[in-house]
Amino acid sequence: MAAQALDAREAVEIVERSAQTKSRQDVAATMAVYHPGGVLESPSLGSRYVGAELEGGVEAAALVGAS
């Protein structure tokens, strides 16, 4: 199955949904936004999480935001 490209509106909706769930520190809702093979990268923190590592990265980001 070929990957389907997102249009600009869909991309903005995904980014907005991710920002909202992250600001609530809602790990489960944030994980629902990510593709199972997705990547979460934070160059300023020197971190990169891929695929199965994503949930740990989202949890770590929530802890950083809580402090």
pLDDT at 6: 85
6: helix, strand or coil: coil
Mean pLDDT along residues 22-51: 90
Q: Find out whether 61 and 27 touch, Cβ atoms under 8 Å.
A: no
List pLDDT tens digits, range 2-25: 567 889 999 999 999 999 998 998
pTM, full prediction: 0.72
Distance, CA of 5 to CA of 55 (rounded, Å): 25
Tally of structural domains, the chain: 1
Q: How far does CA 1 lie from the centroid of its chain?
A: 24
The answer, yes or no, to whether residue 61 has pLDDT greater than 70, is yes
- What tens digit of pLDDT does each residue of 46-55 get? 899 999 999 9
Phi-psi region of 8 (alpha: psi -120 to 50; beta: other; left: phi over 0): alpha
Residue 35 lies in a domain: yes
Quote the tokens at residue 18: 């991710």
Q: Which domain holds residue 24?
A: 8-66
For residue 1, being part of any structural domain is answered with: no
- Asked if residue 24 belongs to a domain, the reply is yes
Q: Flag whether 2 is in a domain.
A: no
